[in-house]
Amino acid sequence: MPKTALITGATSGLGYEFVKLFAKDGYNLVIVSRNKQKMEQIKQSFQNIEIKVIVKDLSEPNAVKEVIEEMDKQEITIDVLVNNAGFGLLGHFDQLDIQEQLNMIQLNVAALTELTYYLLPKMKQKKDGKILNIASTAAFQPGPLMAVYYATKAYVLSFSEALVEELSDSKVMVTTLCPGPTKTNFGSVANVEGTKMFSRAMNAEIVAKQGYNALLNGKRVVVTGGLNKAGTIAAKFLPRSLAAKIAKSIARKE
Ligand SMILES: NC(=O)c1ccc[n+]([C@@H]2O[C@H](COP(=O)([O-])OP(=O)(O)OC[C@H]3O[C@@H](n4cnc5c(N)ncnc54)[C@H](OP(=O)(O)O)[C@@H]3O)[C@@H](O)[C@H]2O)c1
C-alpha cells in the first residue's frame, strides 16, 4: 500500500521539487496551497500516483482545521508531513504592512505548528511517520530588514529540534531543512532579488533533494551548500550583535 505525503506550498519552488521527488518514489500526495489551477495541473501531470488537491490559504486562522477535516472525511492518513509553505518580506519592520507580517507568522509558524499537532498523534500511534520542516539559514541569527521572517525561521528550527528530543523514544522522525538563498519565487515575493544575500542562490532541485535525502536518512538538521554551512557555524560563535550587522549588510540591494 503506497504511503501518503502532505506537502504545503507545492505549486512552485522547493514544494514543487518535493512533489517530483515523492512522486518518483510512488507516494500518494495531498497538496495544499492557494493556486487551484496550478495544483490541478500538477495533479494531471503525475498520473502514476493519487494526488488530492486542497485549495487553502494557510495564513487564515481556521485553514489547518479545515484541511484536517477534509482529510478525515476522506479517511486519508498522512505518513509524511512536509511543512514547506512560507514567505519572507524585505524592509524595515515598522514600514512593512503589519497584516502581511502577521500573515507570515500565521503561515510560517502557526500553520506549521498546527499541522504537526494534528498529524503527529496518528504517526506516534502507528509507530511510523516523518516530518520535514523547512526553516532557513535565517534561523541561526537575527535578521534586520527581514526581522519577522528570520524570527519565524528561528522558531521552526527550535520547535523542530525540541520535537526530535520529545520523540526520541518513538518511531517518528523530524528533519529540519535550512536552505540558504535558493532560486524559487521566494526572491521576488520577498523582494530580495538584487540583494547581496541573493547574489549566489542555489538550485531548487539540489536543495530539495538534500532535504529529501536527509528526511529519508533520519537526519535532524540539514543546511544546504558549503558557504551556507560555514555561515551558520560562524553565526554560532559570533556575538549576536555582530551576526545581526552582517545579516543587515547582505540584505541591502547591491
Ligand atoms: N528560496 C529561498 O531562498 C529560501 C531560503 C530559505 C528557506 N526558504 C523556505 O522554503 C520554503 C519554500 O519556499 P520557496 O523558496 O519554494 O518559495 P516559493 O517558490 O515562493 O513557494 C512558496 C510556496 O508556498 C505557497 N504559499 C505561499 N503562501 C501561502 C499561503 N498563504 N497558503 C498556502 N500556501 C502558500 C505557494 O503556493 P500558492 O502561491 O499557490 O499558495 C508556493 O507553493 C518557504 O518556507 C521558505 O521560507 C526559501
Mean pLDDT over the full length of the chain:
97
Model pLDDT for residues 110-147, shown as the tens digit of each residue? 999 999 999 999 999 999 999 999 999 999 999 999 99
Beta bridge partners of 202: 182
Mean per-residue pLDDT for 198-223? 97
pLDDT value at 163 more than 90: yes
| CB distance 184 to 140 below 8 Å | no
More confident residue, 254 or 220: 220
Is residue 155 part of the annotated active site? The answer reads no
Evaluate if residue 208 carries a pLDDT over 80. yes
Confidence band, pLDDT 50/70/90 cuts, at residue 28? very high
Number of domains into which the chain is organized: 1
| pLDDT at position 254 over 80 | no
Task: Name residues contacting ligand 1 (CB within 6 A).
Answer: 8-15, 33-35, 38, 57-59, 84-88, 107, 134, 136, 179, 181-182, 184-186, 189
Predicted local distance difference test score (pLDDT) of residue 34: 98
Nearest to 87, CA basis, from 174, 8, 196? 8
Q: What is the CATH number of the domain that holds 29?
A: 3.40.50.720
Active-site option among 149, 150, 155, 212:
149
From the CA of 208, how far away is ligand 1's center (Å)? 13
DSSP string, 30-85: EEEES-HHHHHHHHHH-TTS-EEEEE--TTSTTHHHHHHHHHHHTT---SEEEE--
Cα separation, 233 vs 254, whole angstroms: 25
Q: What is the mean pLDDT of residues 32-56?
A: 97
Contact 145, 249 (CB under 8 A): no
Centroid of ligand 1 to alpha carbon of 185 (angstroms): 7
Looking at the predicted structure, is the pLDDT value of residue 237 above 90?
yes
For residue 172, the CA-to-ligand 1 centroid distance in Å is: 25
Q: Dihedrals φ, ψ of 241, to 5°?
A: -65, -40
Domain that holds residue 220: 4-250
